[in-house]
Amino acid sequence: MTKQNIAVLIIAAGYSSRMGDFKPLLPLGKMSALERLIETYQAHGIGHIYVVVGHRQSDIREVLKEENVSIVYNEDYDKGMFNSIQKGLQAMDETLSAFYMQPVDIPLIKAQTLECLYEAYEREGKGVIYPTFLGRKGHPPLIDMKYKEQILLSDGEGGLKKVLEAFCDDALHVKVYDQSVLMDMDTKEDYEALKAYGALHAPNEKECCAIMEFYGVDEHIIRHCEAVGKMVLVLLDECQLGFDKNTLFAAALLHDIARKEKNHALVGAQKLRAMGYEAIAKLIETHMDIEVDTHAPLNANEILFLADKLVNEDEVCGFEKRFAKALQKCEGNAEACDNIQKRLSAVKTIIAKIQILTCKDFPYG
């Protein structure tokens, strides 16, 4: 099984009546919702891309004239989404093994999420693979072609959901850390929320929770990360610097996802890189040990490093108490004590930078 046998069926045929604007062509960043989806599936390695059109089909054809996609016109698009799904299935290549059923109004799916679904399909051999985010089922499902005939023969009562419910024993729910599997744009408020979400360069707080759940992070470690996250926000507010708040906060929440592993800062950074979060990875890999240039401006890595050193488990205790406790614990181990002293020196240097910036004494000594 390879992705050469996998397709995506993007449904973009409806009126968008609840939105009050035409959803497929609404802008999200530098491209439309439909173009964004096509780009994501191409990044995932999907070459068989079918787009079912109906209302304003000529506008969509114009936008997609340079894209390598198959456009399927549904003259009965006013009969609803399930009719368009059936029309798209009828047009699909007979050699295909499975397809993602992708509504155009859920446009910010990540390629990594699609990869999770594909890997589960290939590994488990189930007929329907659903993404779930924090226990809620979302889109797109990945559906084996063995159910093509059942879908085509259905009268549409209850839609695709009703058809697939008959095969619940052949379904698999896959945990993903991508809230966009639940985010549609039925209303203008939904669309504004999607635009704000799409502008983020980091996972949001709920996605950070899902990532920690995905990697089985212990509850006491989660509490520590949450406390460090709060401290990061305090420091950012105190310093009034132009760092990316969302990225730093996410890095704080995720900095210890690999704490139980050797060299956990580097291992955690590798995990975040694999998810596509390079900026967070760079922050996490220096949260244990950092080289501080006294003469350079305060940077985001130093903020995360300091916040971590001001929190003992889930208690804000100040660096002096924390380092005194650490030195006492490592008494007799010269190498460990030397590393602790280096970290303490780094903390003091960072605090000195903050005091110069704020013209105030640092309150967490």
Give the domain-ending residue among 170, 198, 226.
Answer: 198
| Structure confidence at residue 110 (pLDDT) | 95
**Residue 341: what pLDDT?**
85
Amino acid identity, residue 319?
Answer: F
* Residues 150, 132 share a domain: yes
Tens digits of residue pLDDT in 242-291: 899 999 999 999 999 999 999 999 999 999 998 889 999 999 999 999 99
Residues 181, 236, single domain; the answer is: no
**Residue 75 covered by a domain:** yes
The per-residue pLDDT for 15 is 84
Residue 116's CATH number: 3.90.550.10
Mean pLDDT confidence for 322-329: 74
In tens, the pLDDT along 21-71 reads 899 999 999 999 999 999 999 999 999 999 999 999 999 999 999 999 999
pLDDT of 296 higher than 80: yes
Burial class (CB in 10 A: 0-12, 13-18, 19+), 166: exposed
- Let me know if residue 365 belongs to a domain: no
Average pLDDT, the chain: 93
Domain-embedded: residue 251: yes
In a domain, 363, yes or no: no
| Residue 15 is assigned to a structural domain of this protein | yes
**For the purposes of burial, counting CB atoms within 10 Å of the CB of 270, is it exposed (0-12), middle (13-18) or buried (19 or more)?**
middle
Verify that 96 and 187 share a domain, yes or no: yes
Q: Do residues 209 and 194 both lie within one domain? A: no
Same domain, yes or no: 57 and 106: yes
Residue 313 banded pLDDT, cuts 50, 70, 90: confident
Q: What is the pTM of this model?
A: 0.88
Cis peptide before 203 (omega within 30 of 0): no
Spatial contact of 88 and 50, defined as CB atoms under 8 Å apart? yes
Q: Which two tokens stand for residue 114?
A: 């699609």
In the numeric block, which tokens belong to residue 165? 């419910």
pLDDT on residue 365: 66
Count: domains in the chain: 2
Q: Is the pLDDT of residue 166 over 70?
A: yes
Average pLDDT over residues 112-131: 97
Q: Is 56 exposed, middle or buried (0-12, 13-18, 19+ CB in 10 A)?
A: middle
The whole-number average pLDDT for the span 150-165 is: 94
Helix runs in 240-333, H state only: 245-254, 264-274, 278-284, 300-309, 319-329
Q: What DSSP element (H or E) covers 59?
A: helix 57-63
Same domain, 160 and 273: no
Length of the chain counted residue by residue: 365
Q: Are residues 26 and 114 in the same domain?
A: yes
Q: Average pLDDT in the 91-105 region?
A: 96
Judgement on whether residues 225 and 193 belong to the same structural domain of the protein: no
Residue finishing a domain among 198, 228, 252: 198
Collapsed DSSP state (helix, strand, coil) of residue 330: coil
Residues spanned by the domain of 102: 3-198
Tell me the two tokens of residue 344. 């303490």
| Same domain membership, residue 27 and residue 149 | yes
Both 340 and 311 in one domain: the answer is yes
Same domain for 109 and 216, yes or no, is: no
Q: How confident is the model at residue 3 (pLDDT cuts 50, 70, 90)?
A: very high
Q: What would the DSSP string read from start to end of 145-206? A: GGGHHHHHH---TTHHHHHHHTTGGGEEEEE-S-GGGG---SSHHHHHHHHHHHT-SS--HH
Greatest distance between any 2 Cα atoms in the chain: 80
Same domain, 13 and 29: yes
pLDDT tens digits, one per residue of 186-232 = 999 999 999 999 998 899 999 999 999 999 999 999 999 999 999 99
CATH number at residue 317: 1.10.3210.10
Domain boundary residue among 172, 198, 224?
198
